[in-house]
Amino acid sequence: MELEISVENENEYIRRTQEGDSAAFNQLVRLHQARLRAFAARSILSNDIVYDIVQDTFLSAFEHIDRFELDKDFGKWLRGICRNRMLRYFREQRKRQRGFTVIAELLEARLLREDITRRDDSLERIEALRACLDKLKSADRQLITDRYYEEMSVKDMAAQLGKNAAAVSVKLMRIRAALRKCYEKKMRDTKNRRP
Amino acid sequence: MALNGKGKSGLTREEAICLVDACRDGDISDDDVARLTSLLESHDERAMWVLDELELSGMIAQALDSTDTNSFLRGFLERLAAEKSTDDFADITEQRLAEKGDSAEPNKSVDSGDAVGMMFGSKSGTAIEMERVGSPGKLRLVLFGIVITVLAVVGVLLLTQSPSSIGRVVSASPGVMVGRHGAEEKAIAGSILLPGDTVQVPREGRAVMSYEDGTRVKVLAQTEVTLVSTDTGNTLALESGQVTVETPGMPDEDAVVVSTRHAAVKSTSASEYSVTATPTSTRVAVTVGEVTISSPDTAETRILQAGQDTVITGGNG
């Protein structure tokens, strides 16, 4: 269960960190880590990389906390740092991985277009998605886990299942489509329930 | 979004997604890279759909992740401490000593060190923070505190700069254990790894570790590895299970070797590859760069390049 972010508390933690109480920064990490990881996950496909990038973001924020102006939006400030880290990651990947360039460029272009000043609902989306994952049939859940958590290649999954890679890719696409339908409905329902 | 048939790019959704998966896995031909590039650069509806699919994939991965707030915070604090363990600790010591030397300033708080405070989740865990410089009766206590602080910092420096440490745990799912001298401890992000350590990953677990040279090793479920360090470099002994390795490319003598009973695998250029070992065979697949595979039984070596994989069975290196 994540803590609710209270602006008053947040400002107090920031002020204390700026005054040298480094333990106050722990609370800021607690308050923002899940939301920031959710934000990064929309552009970065591997959990390990998301984890590293978000940790880098907090390290940088801690180091430069004195530059942050109290009463400004701390979440937005963190998202700005995080976005720069992600852009750097895309640039590095483009140099290294054959074929990834075009995907990296596309994700990078979208990231640059994204308005980080708007309220970020990535965490709500992921929580809705989590509920939908729980509803999957166990065989489908296993496929999704193998691909997105274990990061198995489609080729390896196909070899394990005795199928060809295209069949596995298409099966994954259909499971994703079901997940998308489920989570979008949940997001709509949540929005409609809001006063 | 209704996207039936072939889009402007001439690809169906199914064809497009197969190319994206192959691309993500680094298992894609030049022709297919060109087809995918053409699709994505068209910026048409299908290209936007691919982008949405990628976004959903990232969110699914995150939704499956069980790292909770406390684990994340622990990892962050350990990483912060590790990053502060060299120059920063020296700076902090110098700064603290300077502050203490400036004892003419009354009522100045004597802080025992941010990084240590952060590690334990409090501003300071030592008694000297409570003391105030400027009270003659307490000067001796403060001097004692300074000595203790310096000793603690030197101790941390010695520990973190231990010449025998060969890497650290970057992340570990619950249940991952590090074995050392016959004892086992839970693997925690940021933990130092020493020669002879074993990393055991249970079913449905995963660990990522990094070597000092920047080589990053992902240890997958049901895998046990032993970190061996000799005069000739670092070897990762893999009995059974799977590891994936990302290396920035090191000179031959410094490259990390993944060793199984059937093969020794290493790369001297920027590469990504996986090694899967069973009692009867070893499979090596290269995603980026190239690796050299040598047989432990014969002098035979072979080079495997990006997009290639091979299975080596007993005595057939």
Q: What is the distance in angstroms between the Cα of B165 and the nearest Cα belonging to chain A?
A: 21
pTM score, two decimals?
Answer: 0.60
Considering CB atoms only, which of A3, A62, A170 is closest to B80? Answer: A62
- CB of A139 within 8 Å of a chain B CB? The answer is no
Residue (of B107, B94, B148) closest to B124 by Cα position: B148
- Which whole-number Å values give the CA distances from A30 to A15, A57, B82, B164, B173, in the listed order? 16, 14, 20, 34, 19
What integer is the mean pLDDT of A11-21? 91
Considering CB atoms only, which of B24, B83, B170 is closest to A59? Answer: B83
Least confident interval from A25-34, A51-60, B246-255, B258-267: B246-255
Cβ–Cβ below 8 Å for A126 and B62:
yes
- CB of A153 within 8 Å of a chain B CB? The answer is yes
Assess contact for A40 and A54: CB atoms under 8 A. Answer: yes
Domain boundaries, chain A: 1-118, 121-195
How far apart are the C-alpha atoms of B116 and B156, rounded to whole Å?
10
What integer is the mean pLDDT of A164-190? 95
Quote the percentage of chain A above a pLDDT of 70. 92
Q: Residue A95: its pLDDT value, please?
A: 66
**Fold entry, domain A121-195:** Arc Repressor Mutant, subunit A (1.10.10)
Measure the N-to-C terminal CA separation of chain A; round to a whole number of Å.
Answer: 23
- CB of A46 within 8 Å of a chain B CB? The answer is yes
How far apart are the C-alpha atoms of B233 and B245, rounded to whole Å?
16
- Our CA angle for B123, B125, B130, nearest 5°, is 85
Assess contact for B145 and B130: CB atoms under 8 A. Answer: no
Q: Residue B55: its pLDDT value, please?
A: 92
Cβ–Cβ below 8 Å for B14 and A44:
no
Assess contact for B291 and B284: CB atoms under 8 A. Answer: yes
Six-digit token pair at A89?
């990651």
Q: For residue A105, which residues of chain B lie inside 8 Å, CB to CB?
A: 40
How far apart are the C-alpha atoms of B136 and B141, rounded to whole Å?
10
- CB of A99 within 8 Å of a chain B CB? The answer is yes
Letter for the amino acid at B39?
L
Q: For residue B53, which residues of chain A lie inside 8 Å, CB to CB?
A: 173, 176
Q: For residue A180, which residues of chain B lie inside 8 Å, CB to CB?
A: 56
Cβ–Cβ below 8 Å for A102 and B40:
yes
Q: Residue B123: its pLDDT value, please?
A: 28
- Domain A1-118, CATH: 1.10.1740.10
Q: Residue B114: its pLDDT value, please?
A: 33
Least confident interval from A43-52, A103-112, B162-171: B162-171
How far apart are the C-alpha atoms of B258 and B227, rounded to whole Å?
10
Letter for the amino acid at B310?
T
* Band of residue A138 on the pLDDT scale cut at 50, 70, 90: very high
Q: Residue A29: its pLDDT value, please?
A: 94
Six-digit token pair at B139?
């000067």
Q: Residue A16: its pLDDT value, please?
A: 93
Q: Residue B117: its pLDDT value, please?
A: 30
Assess contact for B9 and B39: CB atoms under 8 A. Answer: yes
Six-digit token pair at B137?
């009766």
Cβ–Cβ below 8 Å for B80 and A125:
no
Six-digit token pair at B4?
């039936």
- CB of A34 within 8 Å of a chain B CB? The answer is yes
List, in order, residues 6 or more apart from A82 with CB less than 8 Å away.
Answer: A36, A39, A40, A53, A54, A57
Q: Residue B84: its pLDDT value, please?
A: 67
Give the mean pLDDT of chain A.
Answer: 88
List, in order, residues 6 or more apart from B201 with CB less than 8 Å away.
Answer: B173, B175, B176, B207, B219, B220, B221, B222, B223, B224, B241
Query: Is residue B226 classed as helix, strand or coil in its secondary structure?
Result: strand
Q: Residue B85: its pLDDT value, please?
A: 58
How far apart are the C-alpha atoms of B257 and A193, rounded to whole Å?
57
pLDDT by 10s per residue, chain B, length 317: 344 455 566 788 999 999 999 888 878 888 888 888 888 887 778 888 998 999 999 999 999 988 888 888 888 888 887 776 544 444 544 454 454 444 333 333 323 333 323 322 232 332 222 233 334 444 555 555 555 555 555 444 444 444 477 888 877 777 888 888 888 888 877 778 888 889 988 876 788 888 877 788 888 888 999 998 776 678 899 988 889 888 877 777 778 889 998 889 988 787 888 898 888 888 888 887 888 898 877 778 888 888 788 888 865 43
Q: Does residue A109 carry a pLDDT above 90? A: no
